[in-house]
A = this chain, B = another copy of it.
Amino acid sequence: MNTRLAVATHILTFIQTQAGEPSTSELIASSVNTNPALIRRLLSQLARAGLTTSRMGSGGGALLARPADQITLLDVYNAIDDDGEVFALHDQPNPRCPVGRNINGVLKARIAAAEKALRDQLARTTIADMADDVAAQIRLAGNG
């Protein structure tokens, strides 16, 4: 699978830790350890989905478009995944076979149920949760 959900979540969690200061794509890229252009591409998808806003020019960068406890991992997943399908059906089963003719309709319903369970669970975690968890980890390491 791809890492876009992980990177997008990293981006939003990072922004949340910056206490209202805009984060530049270069700064975020250094935390993710990748290219700023890649970060900007993801940020533009997140902005299109209404999760972030960006200010151009000097002093600019990305901000969350709404409070971190109102952005769930499901929002992130929907923002970055074009079709949002975890499993694909097979293109052209044989329509002259009874099984081939009907398998996709049946399977689609079962897969949809499984993907719904996934989405419902993703909706239970917010960016605020992520930032809190990260902060807790940092405190733990500090005490170690």
Contact = CB atoms under 8 A, between A and B. Distances in A.
Contacts of A6: 87-90, 103-104, 107, 111
Instruction: Count copies of this chain in the complex.
Output: 2
A102 interface: yes
B106 A114 contact: no
A48 B90 CA distance: 23
Interface of A: 1-3, 5-7, 9-10, 13-14, 17, 30-34, 73, 85-94, 97-107, 109-111, 113-118, 120-122, 124-125, 129-130, 133-134, 137-138, 141
A138 B31 contact: no
Contacts of A91: 3, 33
A30 B10 CA distance: 45
A36 B101 CA distance: 19
Secondary structure at the A interface, as helix, strand, loop or mixed, is helix
Contact of A85 (B1, B104, B106, B122): B1
A87 B141 CA distance: 26
Contacts of A113: 121, 124-125
Contacts of A99: 10, 13-14, 17, 31, 134
A93 B137 contact: no
